[in-house]
Chain A
Amino acid sequence: MPRLSTLAVFLAALAAWHVASTSGWVTPFLLPSPQAVFETLVELAGSGVLAKHTLVSLRRVASGYLLAIAFAVPVALLFSLSGALRRMIEPLLEFLRQIPPLAMMPLLILWLGIGEAQKIGIIVLSCFFPIFLGVRGGITAVDRKLIDVGTVYGFSRTEIMLRIVLPSALPSIVVGLRIGLGYSWRALVGAELIASSAGLGYMIVDAENLARTDIVLAGILVIGVLGLISDHLLRYLISRKASWLSGDLEMARA
């Protein structure tokens, strides 16, 4: 449950917004009042427009994020198992990591068109590295002293990997997953702003073209809330399934 002080801060921000928009300092066109935005939100929700765009965005994030996990985790594991492979390929990955995913947008549009593939592609590019680095880092940082315990028991390499290395890498993996989730949201909205016909990002640019600042703000609020919810869901899952990690979670704020 959010604490009282947290609620107070949110309420204060809302109050400041209200004062700024109703006092006449800012024209309602640039900053509609909270009430106006709320009414727009109700209207968007009622007409089904909001649900439509939200679903499109959510589906993209889910596919992109899961696809990134499906790439990043095996690659990171392979690198940890084979030093030769890692030395061969890691420099190339390091190079690719320096490129902001949004800078790849024009290329992605040329290659994949402006359909779903391009949006999902940009999400995969954005959250591949946090997840990959989380798994790699966790495996590299494993305490050799714990591996000794398995060696004494006569564990095979696979057993050591599955029963010692991966569990002890979990805190770092979780941090990567959490940062990756945040990145995937940002990348998606960016992609939808540039070339799209549906999704929350599209809803925002479309509203901008129609000079509907209230819809823009409503969209922004929804994006923020959805991001918070997905992050909390991930945290809830972790605290249920891996309670000893709760302390490590706070590192993952990004």
Chain B
Amino acid sequence: MLEAHQLGKAYRLGETEVVALAGVDLTFPRGSITTVVGRSGCGKTTLLRLLAGLEQPTSGALRRQGGPVRTGVVFQEARLMPWLDTLGNVSFGLRRRFPASVAEERSRVALETVGLSAFADAMPSQLSGGMAQRVAIARALVTEPDLLLLDEPFAALDAFTRRAMQNELIAIWQKKRPTIVFVTHDVEEAVLLGQHVLELERGRVVGHEPVDLPFPRDPTATAVNDHRRRILANLTAPAREPETAVLPAPDKEPSR
């Protein structure tokens, strides 16, 4: 179980302070799949970076229960190492834990799940944007993480590949049961993939929609559409708060 207590992150931007995340309380039960929606700049990436331990909170804390976790992250951009071929990128983090042959074997399997077996020897510059992103997904999956954090991973994919990847993700989740936090700006995708959909607005959680439907979910089903409409209505409702996201910077303790 992963819990956030009053988790907040503020960035100093010149004379002002941008509150990217304004003290949120969240619970991610072990083995659950949570999706996070919200418009651009609402703090989704910031939340994910905090969960990944890539950023220190400026307020509140994260609490983990249970042993150490292996975290896998799919960033908003592919972030492949330009000097490694596809296979080298996928096995990048495995080499320290496994002998080369095992690392390669596992990486080939992961490449197959994202449908890129034929491109094992390609360099990142030879891949399309969507292909590079799928390599990044394989790189995160191959370590068999217990906490899988994905930041708009399918945004660069066409509708068909995206649907296939969504199904693949659900299949992996059903098999290995990692805790998944999945960020997207696509409300339909959030409903299709999440047991819980968190609605984020200007660094605050403004809604929480439990979606209790069996997988795989049919995007044309009425129930899916009902959830989608409710979330959209909530997110497009008139602003609950005045412009609270940008505050004058306090004089003390500079934020990172």
Whether the Cβ atoms of A244 and B79 lie closer than 8 Å is: no
Contacts of B82 in A (CB 8 A): 168, 244
Whether the Cβ atoms of B83 and A167 lie closer than 8 Å is: yes
Contacts of A243 in B (CB 8 A): 123
Residue of A whose beta carbon sits closest to that of B70:
A154
In the assembly, what is the distance between CA of A242 and CA of B123, in Å?
A: 12
Indicate whether A30 reaches chain B with its CB closer than 8 angstroms: no
Contacts of B75 in A (CB 8 A): 145, 148-149
Which of B52, B81, B96 contacts A152, CB < 8 Å?
B52
In the assembly, what is the distance between CA of A159 and CA of B54, in Å?
A: 17
Residue of A whose beta carbon sits closest to that of B140:
A152
Contacts of B96 in A (CB 8 A): 153, 155, 159
Residue of A242, A243, A244 ringed by the most chain B CB atoms within 10 A: A244
Indicate whether A226 reaches chain B with its CB closer than 8 angstroms: no
Interface string of B55-72 (1 = CB under 8 A from A): 000000000000000011
Which of B53, B73, B79, B93 contacts A146, CB < 8 Å?
B79
Interface string of A60-79 (1 = CB under 8 A from B): 00000000000000000000
Contacts of B93 in A (CB 8 A): 149-150, 152-153
Indicate whether B92 reaches chain A with its CB closer than 8 angstroms: yes
Contacts of B143 in A (CB 8 A): 153
Indicate whether B125 reaches chain A with its CB closer than 8 angstroms: yes
Contacts of A242 in B (CB 8 A): 83
Known contacts A149-B92, A152-B72, A153-B143: does B54 contact A167 (CB below 8 Å)? no
Known contacts A146-B79, A170-B83: does B72 contact A244 (CB below 8 Å)? no
Whether the Cβ atoms of B125 and A152 lie closer than 8 Å is: no
In the assembly, what is the distance between CA of A153 and CA of B75, in Å?
A: 13
The B interface, classified by DSSP as helix, strand, loop or mixed, is loop
Contacts of B83 in A (CB 8 A): 167-168, 170, 242, 244-245
Indicate whether B209 reaches chain A with its CB closer than 8 angstroms: no
Query: How many A-B contacts if CB must be within 8 Å?
Result: 46
Contacts of B125 in A (CB 8 A): 244
Indicate whether A105 reaches chain B with its CB closer than 8 angstroms: no
In the assembly, what is the distance between CA of A145 and CA of B79, in Å?
A: 7
Whether the Cβ atoms of A149 and B52 lie closer than 8 Å is: no
Interface string of A114-155 (1 = CB under 8 A from B): 000000000000000000000000000000011011111101
Residue of B whose beta carbon sits closest to that of A159:
B96
Indicate whether B146 reaches chain A with its CB closer than 8 angstroms: no
Interface string of B139-152 (1 = CB under 8 A from A): 00001000000000
Residue of A whose beta carbon sits closest to that of B73:
A152
Contacts of B77 in A (CB 8 A): 145
Residue of A whose beta carbon sits closest to that of B94:
A153
Residue of A whose beta carbon sits closest to that of B126:
A244
Whether the Cβ atoms of A164 and B81 lie closer than 8 Å is: yes
Contacts of B92 in A (CB 8 A): 149, 153, 163
Instruction: For the complex formed, measure the closest distance between the CB of A141 and the CB atoms of chain B, giving whole angstroms.
Output: 13
Interface residues of A in 24-63 (CB under 8 A from B): none
Interface string of B90-109 (1 = CB under 8 A from A): 00110010000000000000
In the assembly, what is the distance between CA of A152 and CA of B72, in Å?
A: 7
Whether the Cβ atoms of A167 and B71 lie closer than 8 Å is: no
Contacts of A150 in B (CB 8 A): 93
In the assembly, what is the distance between CA of A242 and CA of B73, in Å?
A: 28
Whether the Cβ atoms of B79 and A149 lie closer than 8 Å is: yes
Interface residues of A in 218-254 (CB under 8 A from B): 242-245
Whether the Cβ atoms of A152 and B71 lie closer than 8 Å is: yes
In the assembly, what is the distance between CA of A140 and CA of B71, in Å?
A: 27
Known contacts A244-B123, A244-B125: does B54 contact A151 (CB below 8 Å)? yes
In the assembly, what is the distance between CA of A245 and CA of B123, in Å?
A: 11
Contacts of B79 in A (CB 8 A): 145-146, 148-149
A: which residues have CB within 8 A of B? 145-146, 148-153, 155, 159, 163-164, 167-168, 170, 242-245
B: which residues have CB within 8 A of A? 52-54, 71-73, 75, 77, 79, 81-83, 92-93, 96, 123, 125, 143
The 4 closest A-B pairs by CB, nearest first: A153-B93, A167-B83, A152-B73, A145-B79
7 A-B pairs with CB atoms under 8 Å apart are A145-B75, A146-B79, A152-B53, A152-B72, A153-B143, A164-B81, A244-B83
Given contacts A152-B53, A167-B83, 4 further A-B contacts (CB under 8 A): A149-B81, A153-B93, A153-B143, A244-B83
